[in-house]
Every structure is written in C-alpha cells, then in structure tokens.
Amino acid sequence: MIYIQFLLLVVNAIMPMPNQIIYGYYTVRISNICQIKFFSQQEFPNHILQLLLHYHQLITYDEDCDFEESINNINIKVDGALKFEISLESNEQLYWVKTTKEEAYELNIDENLNVRIKTSNHWGLARALDTVNQLTINNQIENLPIYINDEPQYIHRGVMIDTARNFLPVRLIKRTIDALVINKLNVLHWHITDDESFPLLLTNYSQITNNSKFWKDGYFTKEDIQDIIEYASIRGVQIIPEIDTPAHVYSWGRSFELAQIIIACDTDIQQYGQLDPTLDFTYEVLKSVMQDLNDMFAKVQFIHFGGNEASISCFEQKPSIKEFMDQNGIKNYFDLQVYYRKRQKDIWKNQIKSQKKIIYWYNKKHQLPADQDDIVQWCGQSNELQDLKLKTNPIILSDYDLLSLDIGIGDSFGDPDDFYQSWKDVYSWVPKLAEDFNGQLLGAEALLWGHTNTRNTHFQKLFLRSSILGDILWNSNSKTSEQFWQFTQRLSEMEDRMNKYKFPVSPFTSGYCKSQTQVCFPYFYIIQQNQTGKT
C-alpha cells in the first residue's frame, strides 16, 4: 500500500479533501447494494437512526431497499454488501460542536467491504458517512483497502440564506441543509427578517408578521423552527438565526400601534426603516420579539443581532431623537447606536437571561464596541480587514468582495451592484487575518442575500461556489498538494453528485472541459493569477 498525506488517485472523488489517506489497489463492486448493514455495540438512539436512514437513502439511491433490515444485522453475511461497524464515544444528540475534534473521524474500508468508523459523536459520523458515499461511485469502491484520518481545519463552515426579501419554504430550507451536509458544511446562518418582511410568527406582536408577509402562508411557526433545528442537528448542521436591528426593520411598523417605534427613512422608495432608540416602547416591543426568539430557538448556540447599516440621516429626520441625545449626554449618532446596543444586551442577558452568544456584522464603516465574548462577522472588503478595530474577539469571515454570492446580477431595482464573483474567485480566497489580530478565527460563511433569489435560483447561486468554500475551510492545505486540474476534477465529481441528488447547481464549466480537466485547467490558479496580473 501507498501512504499519502493529501491526494492521489482515490481522492479525485472526495470533496472536501481529507487530511490523510492510505489506500490500496483493489476495485470492489457492491453487488448487493440493498443489503447494507449498520452495526454498533450500543443500541442506536433515534437521532442516529435518522442519520443512518438519510445516508442509507443516498447510498442506495434509486433502489427500493428496506432500511429496517439494515440495522444491527451484522452477523448476516452477504457478499458484495457494505457492512458498517460504528464506534461512537457519545450517543448524545448535539446541536453544535465546540471543537473540530468533534467532527474528526477514522474510516477503514477493506476488500470485503467491511466499513469501520470511529468518531466522537453523530456529527463526526455524518462526515464519515458522507466520505463513504462519495467513495461509492457506480456501485463500486476503488483503491481498497482505504484508511482515512480526517478532521476539519475550521469549526465554522457555512452559508447564509435570506428569507426576508423572498420567502423560502421549510422544504427548501431542509433541502439546503442536505446540500450543506454533502459538502461537509456545518452552519446555516438564517437571516430571517428585514425591511421587506418579518416571516416569523410572534406571540404578542403577530401583526408584525401578518402585515408584512408576502402571502397567506408565507411565514414560519414555532413548530416549523423546531422541525428545522432538529432536522439540521441530526445531519450535523447548526442553525444561527438572525434578527437585524436597529436598521432593516421597516416591516415592524406596518400597523398603527407599532408605527411610532419606526423611523421611515426618507428615500425615493418607502422601504427602509430604523427603530427609534429613544422610546421605551421600542424596548418593550424588542423584549417581546427577543423573548420569542430565545424560546423558538432554545436549542441553538448563537443568535445574530445584525447591527450594521444604521443611517445617520434617517435618525436626523426625527428632531425628538436629537433632543433626547442632548438631554442624556449622547454626543453623536455613533454613541446613540452604542446606547441602543447596551439596552438590547441588557434585555437579552439580564432580563431574558439568555445564555446564547451574540454575533454582530462588522465592516470598516460599522464598528461599534463589543463585549469580549461577542463574535464578529466581517462583511467588508478583504483588503480592509486590517482596519478592524476589534483585535481579540472571535471572528467569522464573509469578505464582501469574494464571498457574497448574490452580487453581480443587479439589485432589487435592476441597478448594478458590483462585479460577479466566479468559482475561481472563491477558490482564490484565503482564510487569513491581519497580523495584529489576536482573536480566534472560527471560519467563514458565503452570503446569499435574497433580493433577487427565489426557490428557482437558490441552488444555482449557492453551489458550486459554496462547495469550494467548504473545501478550503475543511483543508486549506489541499491547494498546495494538488494541481489545479486535479481540484477541478474533484469539483466536477461534486457537480455530478449534487445533480444526481436533484440539486440544480450551476455548472462550473463546459462538458468538454469536465472531461478534459488537464487540458482546460493545466496550472495552479495562483500561477495563472500572477501570469495575468490579476489582483
């Protein structure tokens, strides 16, 4: 057998790239695909049974196979069938993981199709099962026996979706989770509300939802939320909900009762609004909304409070705000936002007594003070990251110029918004921070804002560019260990895999170049950049 650190033959099928592989020379056909068996020394709890069912359906795709016969019947010997022996350190159901080791796994597959998986929990099991599924091509596995020792480089690997600008139904969100798992992405950041709509049914202020929803059933109930969180947890994906304030809240004030807490920003189109941070009633409504949020998302680790793009000119429209500032020693509108954020946090931490950590957007223009445990999500330009004033907070990267998947096709009004970022641009992205940054880099997210995204365009915009981000965040060393054409071969396999499972992803190249990757993509992309002078 041959030992390799990153890649050769067999990994042409695997994305993201595993950390370590040892492989042999045998190709073995899975002649009895329906006789797949799953075995463990302990009884499988329901959440693991659901995960095994999910991968049973993927591996036996288009076959009419009985899952119940697959559980704990390892002693039934069937030639040509995959036989899984699963060893978990814990059977506990997790809704997030704290370290990358919790997604690490060891995988052995021998020439008799015995599959041994050793991992910490069901999140690591999901990653291992996905690797087995990727290795299973046309009902056979090549280069047996195989040993893989794998662990992600970053703990936070995700995408953001937006259900406020165009509503996305529960079924589509679940399908998005399935797509993330195929790419070993583990975070779904859910931007739920914005100026356009508030599609989350509230307990005390349901009129916010009812007056802003796009159609009769265009909103999410508490039961929908719990269903999505459970679905994601089983597959090893954490949900991060976002309710953005004090800007992006025009949808809150479309009733007579609540109109007073909203400043309708004076623009050509009456669409943008901000909370009036000087009114006690604002914080009464905010507390109720945040209480609902805490209750509905009881099993999540983080809450995203947005916090960027508050307009000074919008605050200036209301003279009473300036009067309040003068009376309370608030020097400027920056300090007014600090005042709002302090009151928001007091409600969250001291009144509601939530233990969930808070994430805020940050870029060069929007940098309010943060508590030490606040998480910074960078959404500015890549070359401005050195201007981030917060040097010790945990950080998530979402560089606008390379990781915004919606730009380049125009905004809601048909106006140009920026240059489209191709899959090669995403491939060029490197997860790095300014030299003087001393905080922890958690990982990154690709952002899909919903201004021009619907269920019809959703997967084309998300993939395959998010697949590439997942590859980088799992193992960024793969760039230095493979030639560019080999990367595109893996990307081609991922495109075929996602199409197989009915995800209408955007093709990354022509049919000719998919079959001739060495001809079309002969060099490292970094070398190509240097040759063309692209920066």
What CA–CA distance (Å, rounded) separates 527 from 268?
47
End-to-end CA distance of the chain: 42
For position 360, what pLDDT does the model report? Answer: 98
Give domain 192-215+245-356's CATH number out of 3.40.980.10, 3.20.20.80, 3.40.50.720, 3.90.1150.10.
3.20.20.80
DSSP 190-206: EE---SS---B--SS-H
pLDDT < 50 stretches in the chain: 1-8, 526-535
Domain residue extents for the chain: 2-152, 192-215+245-356
- Helices and strands, counts by H and E, the chain: 18, 17
For position 416, what pLDDT does the model report? Answer: 79
For position 1, what pLDDT does the model report? Answer: 39
What DSSP designation does 483 have? Answer: -
Q: What is the largest CA-CA distance in the chain?
A: 82
What CA–CA distance (Å, rounded) separates 327 from 68?
70
For position 479, what pLDDT does the model report? Answer: 86
Q: Is the peptide bond before 464 cis (omega within 30 degrees of 0)?
A: yes
What DSSP designation does 261 have? Answer: G
For position 8, what pLDDT does the model report? Answer: 46
For position 522, what pLDDT does the model report? Answer: 83
Query: Which residues are designated catalytic?
Result: 309
For position 534, what pLDDT does the model report? Answer: 32
The CATH number assigned to the domain with range 2-152 reads 3.30.379.10
For position 68, what pLDDT does the model report? Answer: 87
192-215+245-356 and 2-152 share a CATH fold: no
Q: HEC profile for 52-95?
A: HHHHHHHHCCCCCCCCHHHECCCCCCCCCCCEEEEEECCCCCCC
Residue 412 region, left (φ>0) first, then alpha (ψ -120 to 50), else beta?
A: alpha
Q: Cα dist. 106→15, 18, 21, 398 in Å?
A: 16, 11, 10, 31
pTM: 0.94
For position 379, what pLDDT does the model report? Answer: 96
For position 478, what pLDDT does the model report? Answer: 86
What CA–CA distance (Å, rounded) separates 282 from 202?
16
Long-range contacts of the stretch 410-417 (C-beta < 8 A, 24+): 410/452, 411/451, 411/452, 412/165, 412/451, 412/452, 413/269
What confidence tens digit (pLDDT) does each residue in 462-519 have? 999 999 999 999 999 888 888 899 999 999 999 999 999 999 999 999 999 999 999 9
Q: HEC profile for 292-349?
A: HHHHHCCCCCEEECCCCCCCHHHHHCCHHHHHHHHHCCCCCHHHHHHHHHHHHHHHHH
